[in-house]
Chains A and B, each alone.
Chain A
Amino acid sequence: QVQLVQSGAEMKKPGASVKVSCQASGYTFNGYYIHWVRQAPGQGLEWMGRINPNSGGANYAQKFQGRITVTRDTSIRTVYMDLSSLRPDDTAIYYCARVEAVGSFDFWGRGTLVTVSS
């Protein structure tokens, strides 16, 4: 069955970076984009970026340009989301989700809580 397994919760200080992983299984890894979506406490869903696992090409929401990098390691079917220069308002649950081309987000990871606090 399709699974997206995310890394565990992180606690970071302002200015630091965080790297969250998302390991895929149960489907053809190269066949689906992996997207990152975050949700601040009590807030809605916010799209951050995506990667094409086949080519490694990524694009990002303008809001995060310069702070976010999404990469993948096809040998272990894992996608990484790196967010730098963390601020307290980056405190959120970060989800990975798969999408076939420009379809729907049909499977989601369970989320990774990132807390940014001094």
Chain B
Amino acid sequence: SYVVTQSPSMSLAPGQTAKISCGGNNIGSKTVNWYQQRPGQAPVLVVYDDADRPSGIPDRFSGSNSGNTATLTIGRVEAGDEADYYCQVWESGRDHPVIFGGGTKLTVL
């Protein structure tokens, strides 16, 4: 089945820009969604359809998707952005249609 790969962790200082990647074979042909999960909380949708933001999500969060890599970009990182971030795609026509990446832990120093 389709596999998406995320780096396990990254650390940044406040104010820097985080680029969290999600790799997969020709992932640019799929639609990617991104979720933020703070410790002890349920996941929250932060980017859908590659690059759209739900209402209430700051415009510091943006997404892109091309070739073999989708990217979630968080501008001007804040302490409150410290969380695990998961990408998610659909694999149509399969018994296991929903694929999550392994998650990237963002630490704000």
Contacts and interface: CB of A to CB of B under 8 A. Distances in A.
Contacts, number: 57
Interface in B85-109: 86, 88, 90, 92, 95-103
Nearest to A102: B90
Interface of B is mostly: strand
A108 B42 contact: yes
Contacts of B48: 103-104, 106
A61 B96 contact: yes
Contacts of A109: 42
B28 interface: no
Q: How many interface residues does chain B have, given as a range?
A: 20 to 34
Interface residues of A, number: 22
Contacts of B43: 45, 95, 97, 105, 108
Interface of A: 35, 37, 44-47, 50, 59-62, 95, 97, 102-106, 108-111
Interface of B: 33, 35, 37, 42-45, 48-49, 54, 84, 86, 88, 90, 92, 95-103
